[in-house]
Amino acid sequence: MKRYILKRLLLAVPVLFGITLITFFIIHLTPGGFTAVNMQMDIRTSPDSIERMRHLYGLDKPVISQYIDWFGRTITFNFGESFIDHRPVLHKVAERLPATLLLNILSLALVFFFGVILGVISAVKRNTAVDKIITVFTFIGYSIPTFWLALILMLFVSVKAGLLPVSGMVSIDFDYMTLPQKIGDLLSHLVLPLIVTSIGGLAYISRFVKSGMVEALSQQYVRAAYAKGLSRKTVLYRSALKNSLLPVITLLGMSVPGLIGGSFIFETIFAWPGMGRLAYESALSFDYPVIMGVVTMGAVLTLLGNLAADIAYAAVDPRIRYK
Amino acid sequence: MNKMMKAGLAVVILIVIAAVFAPVIAPQDYRKQDVSNRLMPPSKAHVMGTDELGRDVFSRLVRGTRVSITVGVLAVLISAVIGVLLGIIAGYFGGVIDNIIMRGVDIFLTVPTLFLILMLIVFLGPSVFNIVIIIGLTSWTDIARIVRAEVLYIKKLPYAEAAAVLGFKKRRIMFGHILPNAFAPVLVYITFGVSGAILAESGLSFLGLGVQPPEPSWGNILTSGKDYIDTAWWLVLYPGLSIFAAVFSFNLLGEGLRDYLNPKLDREG
Amino acid sequence: MDIINVSNLYVKYAARKKYNMAVNGVSLDIKEGESAAIAGESGCGKSTLASALLKLLPENAQVSGNVMLDGIDVFAAGEEQLRKIRGNTAGMIFQDPGASLNPLFSVKQQIEEAITAHFGKTEKEELKRKSLELLSDAGITDAQRVYNSYPHQLSGGLQQRVMAAIALSCGPKILIADEPTTALDVTVQAQIVELLKKLKEEHKLTLLLITHDLHLANALASRIIVMYAGKIAEDGAVKSAKTALHPYTAALFKIIPSLDSPKRHFEVIPGEVASAEHNGNFCAFSPRCPYADDRCRSEKPELKEVKPGHFVRCFYPGGKK
C-alpha cells in the first residue's frame, strides 16, 4: 500500500515537470509576447526601452535558461510577480483558490452523489421508461454547450425572474451581513455556477455508473450472491454497487483538470473570481509569471486529485491494498 | 443500425448538407446589413430574426455551419492521425517508447486541455487555421490510448503472432492486421471527437478567440447576442440550439456506432 | 420422497427478435439423499436447468413448467420465500470459484452475510465461531487465515472450499454443484471431489452435480441424467460406455479420457451439437449417430423406461439393431 502510493507520487514528478515545461515553451515561443502587447500602446516606447524591459524580466535569455531560472525559483515557492500589477503571483493565485475550490469540490460532490443515483436507477431499471428518460437527460447533459446554458439560465432565472443574483460570488453589501445572511448570499450566488459546472459531469458519471453497474450485475458473483439467499436490495446496493463504483473513483480524479481549466469560460460569464478567470485574464495580457503560477497550481491540484483517487481506489479494492 | 444511430446520422447529414450548400440554402446574403431593420424578432422575412446590424440570423447560422463542421472534422482528422500513429507505436514497440508516449498522454490528461487551447490561441493569434491545428494537436490522447489498448489486445491474438512467426515485416503486421481491427473503436472516438471540437470552437469563438467577425460562426453570433440578452432572445437561443443540435447529433451517432460495432453489447440485449 | 421435482420445464432466452430454446421439456424427480449428475456437452441445457432450480436465470429467460424444491413451488415463490429456498433448501456452488466470490469483500464478509441473511442479526462472536466451523468443515486447515483473507489471496481450490462453506452455511438439504471442478487444476479437482463426497455424507445432502465429465459424474453420483438438445436422453445408473443405453451416452464416455485409463487419446463426437430449438419429427441426435436409420430420421423418440429406473430416449437402446 505504501509502495503503491509512493509509486504514484513518483510518477507524478515527470508529469508536473512536463506540464510546466510545455507551458513555458508555448508562452515563450510566440514572437511578440508580453513586451509587444503591453508597450505598443505607449507612444513613448522606443525599441531601446522594449529591450530594457525584456532584459529586466530576463526575456532576452535563451528559453532553456529562462526555464531553469523559473524552476529554481519555483521549488522555493517563489513564483515571481505579475508583469501587470506587480503583485506576487502566489498571492494572486492564493486569493482565487478558495472560490475555485469551493465551486469545484461542491460540484464534484454533487456530480458524484447524483451521478451514482441516476446511474444505479438507470442500470437497475434497465430498458424501462425511467432508464430511457435518464439516458435522454444524460445525452442532453453532455451535448449542451455550458456557456450557452449559463447565458440561458442567467436570462431566465436571474434577469427575467429575478430569483437569483446575476453574477459574482457575493453581493456588494456582503461585509455588512450577519453570518446566516452571508451563507445564504453565497449559496444563492453558487446555484447557477454549480448547475452549469455539474451538468456535463453528472451526465458523464451517471452513464459510467450505469455501464459499471450493468457490467457488475452480469458477473458470476452476483448470481452467487443471489444463490446464497441474499435479498435483491443487498445484492444490488452492497455487492454490485461497490464494484461498479471502482472506475468512477478514477474518473473523478481525472476530471479535476477539466473542472479547473475548462471553467474559464463560464467563470468569465458569471464573474466568478476563480482560477479559471485568472488564467484567462493572464493569458490575454501575456502575464507570463501568472500563467505559469496558475498552470503549476492547476497541475498540483490535479495530481492531488489523482492521488486522492488512487488512495480511495486502494481503500475500496483489496487487490490493490494487499499487493 | 439502431434508432439512435439513424436519428444521429439523419441530423448529421442535414448539417453537412447545410454546410456544403450554405449559399443556396441561406435565404439572404449573410453579410447584408440593414440597420433600419436591426434586432427584429423572428418574422416571415427573417425566420430567426435579425442581429444588431440587421443581418439575417438564419442565413448567418447556415453560413456558420461551414466553419463548425470544417473545424470539427479537420481537427479530429489531425488528432486521429496523431493518436492512431502514437497508439500503434506505443502498443507495438512497448518498453521505453511506450513509456515516453504514455507519460506524454499523462501530461495531456493533467493539463486542462481547454486552457491549453486558450493559451495557444492567444499566443498564436485567433484564426480558423490555428484553431484546427491547435484542437487537433491537443485532443489525440483518447484515440492514442484506445488504439494502444487495442494493439496490445490484438498482439496477443493467435493470428498476429502467427503473422509475426511467418516473418511478415513489422510494419505490415501493424497496418495490415492491427489497424483494421482498431478501426471500430477509433471511428466511435472520431465521432465523439467532432462534437468535442465543435464545442471547443464555439466556446473560443464566443470568447472572441475563434472565428473573427464579420465571418459568422455559432459562437461569435452568440457573443453579440449576449449583449442584447434581455431584448433579443433569438440572438441567444438559435445559435445555442445550433451548437447543441450539432453536438447532440454527433454524440448520438457515436453512441449508436458504439452499440452497433460492439457485438458483445448486442448479444447481451 | 422426491425433494426435487421438475415437470415440463421449458426455458428460452430472448435474443433480438427471436428466442433461443435452452431447456425443451424436462421432467425429473430426485429423491431425498440421492446423488444425481446431469451430464452433457456444453449447450445441452444442463446449466440452464440447474439455474432454473433456484430461479437464478438471467432477465431475458422465459420459463414455463414447474419446479418444486422440498415441496415449495420455486416459480410461484415471492422474493422472501425465494430467499429461503436459496441457502436454506438448496445451496449452490459454481464453475469458476474465482469469479463467484466478490473480489471486493473478504471471506469473512461473504460468509457472514449469508448467515445473517437467513438467521437474522447474530452476535459477532457467534458469527465468527460459525464461520470458522464452516470453513474447517469444508476442509480448510488454516480457517482463521482464510477467514480474514480476500478472494484474490486464495488458490482456486481454497476458493471453491470457501464457496462450499458458504453454500452450506444455512444447512440446506440440497447441494447443487455446477461444474465444480472444471476451472481447477487436476490435483485440486480430486480434492474437491473428495470434499463433496465427505460433505454429502456428513450433512446427509441430496447432491445434484452438473458436469460434462461422465467420469466425475460416476465418482460422485449413482444416477446419471444425460441431456441432449435441451431434453433428457438417458436417465439411470450408467457406469460405463458398455452399460449406456443411448448411443450419445456411450459416445460421451468414449471422448473423455479417464484419469486411470492408460490410453489418453482425445476423441470428439463428430458433427455439431444440435440446438434445443429442434422440434422436427426426428431424433435430435440422429445426424451424429452411427446407428441412425430411416426411423430415427422420420420419427421422434420418447423417453421410455427400458429397465426398472433406467430411462432412455432412443428407438434402439444400447445401439442394438
Structural domains of chain B, ranges and CATH numbers in brackets: 3-21+54-261 (1.10.3720.10)
Q: From CA B250, how far away is CA B188, in angstroms rounded? A: 10
B241 has pLDDT over 70 = yes
| Minimum mean pLDDT range among A11-15, C121-125, C150-154 | A11-15
Q: Helix and strand tally (H, E) in chain C?
A: 11, 12
Q: Phi first, then psi: give them for residue C242, nearest 5 degrees.
A: -70, -35
- Compare C219 and C242 and report the one with higher pLDDT: C219
Query: Which of C207, C242, C250, C206 minimizes the C-alpha distance to C226?
Result: C250
B136 has pLDDT over 60 = yes
Q: From CA C13, how far away is CA C21, in angstroms rounded? A: 6
| Percent with pLDDT over 90 in chain A | 21
Residue B268: pLDDT band with limits 50, 70, 90: very low
DSSP letter for each residue of B149-186: HHHHHHHHSHHHHHHHHTT--HHHHIIIIIHHHHHHHH
**What pLDDT, on the 0 to 100 scale, is given for residue B63?**
92
Residue of chain B whose alpha carbon sits nearest to that of A302? B110
DSSP letter for each residue of C231-260: EEEEEE---STTT--SHHHHHHHHHSPPTT
Q: From CA A319, how far away is CA B7, in angstroms rounded? A: 43
Over residues C114-142, the mean pLDDT reads 91
Left, alpha or beta for A301 (phi > 0: left; psi -120 to 50: alpha)?
alpha
Which chain B residues contact residue C18 at CB under 8 A? Answer: none
C265 has pLDDT over 80 = no
Which chain A residues contact residue B112 at CB under 8 A? Answer: 257-258, 260-262, 298, 302
Answer for the pair C166, C146: CB distance below 8 angstroms, yes or no. no
Strands C206-211 and C35-39: parallel
Other beta carbons within 10 angstroms of residue C119's beta carbon come to 15
How open is the CA angle C274-C280-C281, to the nearest 5 degrees? 120
Q: From CA C130, how far away is CA C116, in angstroms rounded? A: 11
- B267 CB near a chain C CB, below 8 Å? yes
* Average pLDDT, rounded, for chain B: 85
Over residues A72-92, the mean pLDDT reads 86
- B266 CB near a chain C CB, below 8 Å? yes
Residue of chain A whose alpha carbon sits nearest to that of C116? A230
Look at A231 and C86 and tell me if their CB atoms are within 8 Å. Answer: no
Q: Which residues of C298-307 are buried (b: 16+ CB within 10 A; e: fewer)?
A: eeebebeebe
Look at C152 and A319 and tell me if their CB atoms are within 8 Å. Answer: yes
Q: From CA A43, how far away is CA A34, in angstroms rounded? A: 16
B17 has pLDDT over 60 = yes
Whats the size of chain A, residue-wise?
323
The residues of chain A that CATH labels 1.10.3720.10 are 95-316
Residue C127: pLDDT band with limits 50, 70, 90: very high
Answer for the pair A239, C102: CB distance below 8 angstroms, yes or no. yes
- B269 CB near a chain C CB, below 8 Å? yes
- C124 CB near a chain B CB, below 8 Å? no
C28 has pLDDT over 60 = yes
Which chain A residues contact residue C54 at CB under 8 A? Answer: 226-227
Q: From CA B34, how far away is CA B56, in angstroms rounded? A: 9
- A228 CB near a chain C CB, below 8 Å? yes
Burial class (CB in 10 A: 0-12, 13-18, 19+), B24: exposed
- A21 CB near a chain B CB, below 8 Å? no
**What pLDDT, on the 0 to 100 scale, is given for residue B269?**
29
Torsion sign across C-alpha atoms C102, A318, A316, A141: negative
Residues 6+ apart with CB under 8 A from A288: A27, A28, A33, A34, A57, A83
Which chain B residues contact residue C13 at CB under 8 A? Answer: none
Query: pLDDT tens digit string along A253-310?
Result: 878 777 776 678 878 888 899 888 898 888 888 888 898 888 888 888 888 888 888 8
Look at A243 and C84 and tell me if their CB atoms are within 8 Å. Answer: no
Kindly list the partner chains of chain B, i.e. chains with 3 or more CB atom pairs below 8 Å.
A, C
Q: Phi first, then psi: give them for residue B134, nearest 5 degrees.
A: -70, -45
Tell me whether the omega of the peptide bond preceding residue B214 falls within 30 degrees of 0, making it cis: yes
Q: Select from B96, B108, B113, B119 the residue whose CB has the most chain A CBs within 10 Å, as the one to mutate to test that interface.
A: B119
Residue B242: pLDDT band with limits 50, 70, 90: very high
Residue B251: pLDDT band with limits 50, 70, 90: very high
| Minimum mean pLDDT range among A58-67, C147-156, C189-198 | A58-67
C151 has pLDDT over 90 = yes
Other beta carbons within 10 angstroms of residue C73's beta carbon come to 13
C133 has pLDDT over 90 = yes
Look at C117 and A229 and tell me if their CB atoms are within 8 Å. Answer: yes
Kindly list the partner chains of chain A, i.e. chains with 3 or more CB atom pairs below 8 Å.
B, C
Left, alpha or beta for C24 (phi > 0: left; psi -120 to 50: alpha)?
beta
- C59 CB near a chain B CB, below 8 Å? no
Side-chain half-sphere of A18: how many Cα atoms within 13 Å? 18
- Compare C38 and B41 and report the one with higher pLDDT: C38
Query: Which of B241, B232, B243, B206 minimizes the C-alpha distance to B49?
Result: B232
The fold for domain A95-316 equals: MetI-like fold (1.10.3720)
Answer for the pair C17, C274: CB distance below 8 angstroms, yes or no. no
Over residues C221-243, the mean pLDDT reads 89
| Percent with pLDDT over 70 in chain A | 90
How distant is the Cα of C304 from the closest Cα of chain A, in angstroms?
A: 34
Query: Which of A316, A250, A314 minimizes the C-alpha distance to A1?
Result: A314
DSSP secondary structure code for residue B47 in this structure: T
A32 has pLDDT over 70 = no
Residues 6+ apart with CB under 8 A from B86: B101, B104, B140, B144, B147, B148
Other beta carbons within 10 angstroms of residue C172's beta carbon come to 24
* Average pLDDT, rounded, for chain C: 87
Residue ranges of alpha helices (H) inside A43-167 are: 47-56, 63-74, 89-124, 129-143, 146-153
Residue A31: pLDDT band with limits 50, 70, 90: low
Strands C18-31 and C2-15: antiparallel
- A17 CB near a chain B CB, below 8 Å? no
Residue C32: pLDDT band with limits 50, 70, 90: very high
Of C85, C91, C100, nearest to A220 by CB-CB distance is: C100
Look at A155 and B229 and tell me if their CB atoms are within 8 Å. Answer: yes
Q: From CA C73, how far away is CA C81, in angstroms rounded? A: 10
Of C87, C100, C102, nearest to A229 by CB-CB distance is: C87
Residue ranges of alpha helices (H) inside chain A are: 2-29, 33-40, 47-56, 63-74, 89-124, 129-143, 146-153, 179-217, 220-227, 232-234, 241-254, 256-261, 264-270, 275-284, 288-316, 318-321
Q: Is C5 helix (H, G, I), strand (E, B) or coil?
A: strand
**What pLDDT, on the 0 to 100 scale, is given for residue A36?**
55
**What pLDDT, on the 0 to 100 scale, is given for residue B263?**
52
How distant is the Cα of A247 from the closest Cα of chain C, in angstroms?
A: 13
**What pLDDT, on the 0 to 100 scale, is given for residue A288?**
84
Which chain A residues contact residue C85 at CB under 8 A? Answer: 229
Query: pLDDT tens digit string along A242-269?
Result: 999 888 888 888 787 777 766 788 788 8
Q: Which three cell numbers stand for residue A193?
A: 455556477
Which chain C residues contact residue A313 at CB under 8 A? Answer: none
